[in-house]
Amino acid sequence: MSGFAQTEQGKEGARSRRAAHRPSLSVILLSLGARGELERALAAVAGRCRRMEAEIVVVRAKGGDDCATLRTAYPCVRFVDAPVGSDCTSLRQIGMDHARGDIVALRQDGSVGDCMWLDALHATVGTVDDDRPIEVEVALAVSVEQSATGTDRRHGRPAASYATSPSSAPQRRRGDFGRSNAVLADVPTLAPTLGSEM
């Protein structure tokens, strides 16, 4: 067999391994605001998540069932009711407890934006090799309520670290795809850098 054929065969094997080990994605919407914000957030992420086969979990801290029509309109979305008066930290914990994906993206319903962050996250996840480290730098405007430390652990899963600018404190993950808590604030893009050496 020629060297070219062996190289092409090796590439195909890597592609099939990558597809077989592609981590699953959960998008959790934390809803503290008005119902209209949640409607806009669901309209923005639903189509993309369906194409990506990502689950959507909405954690809402409101009394009664003020989202009955949304439950009907979005049957694939899991709605989780949180106790009335829950803060963002409580909603985040409830969302992490209900997420099934290997990678979890948490957003507040009022900060979903244009969803380019979701496209970039999906593209990054789709190009990960099992044995290659990845580095993702995210320019974030992180509020105190959304912040966590890189050593924070939830249910034995590593939580992502949060960078305040693309040049500082990147989040790093290895190919075991342990569920990570990726909180993304209002940013125009998510800029992935693949195959970076540590």
Q: How confident is the model at residue 194 (pLDDT cuts 50, 70, 90)?
A: very low
Q: Tell how far CA 123 is from the center of its chain.
A: 12
pLDDT, one tens digit per residue, over 31-42 is 987 888 889 989
Q: Record the pTM.
A: 0.56
- Looking at the predicted structure, is the pLDDT value of residue 142 above 80? no
3-class secondary-structure state, position 24: coil
Q: CA-to-CA distance for 88 and 85, rounded, in angstroms?
A: 10
Predicted local confidence at residue 127, as pLDDT: 54
Contacts with 152 (C-beta within 8 Å, 6 or more apart), sequence order: 159, 181
5-32 in b/e burial notation, b at 16+ Cβ within 10 A?
Answer: eeeeeeeeeeeeeeeeeebbbbbbbbbb
pLDDT of residue 67: 77
If you search the block for the tokens 């992180």, which residue do you land on? 142
Q: Is 180 helix (H, G, I), strand (E, B) or coil?
A: strand
Over the stretch 144-170, which tens digit does the pLDDT of each residue have?
Answer: 334 343 333 344 444 443 333 333 333
- Sorted by where each starts, the structural domains of the chain and their CATH numbers stand as 23-194 (3.90.550)
SS3 (DSSP) at 101: coil
Res 134 pLDDT > 70? no
pLDDT the model gives residue 190:
40
How many CB atoms are closer than 10 A to CB 42? 21
- List, in order, residues 6 or more apart from 40 with CB less than 8 Å away: 109, 112
Which residue type does 151 have?
Answer: T
Task: Using alpha carbons, list the distances in angstroms from residue 35 to 62, 157, 174.
Answer: 10, 31, 38
Spatial separation of the C-alpha atoms in residues 140 and 76, rounded to whole Å:
29
Average pLDDT, the chain: 65
pLDDT tens-digit profile of 7-62? Answer: 445 545 544 444 556 788 899 999 987 888 889 989 988 988 888 888 999 999 87
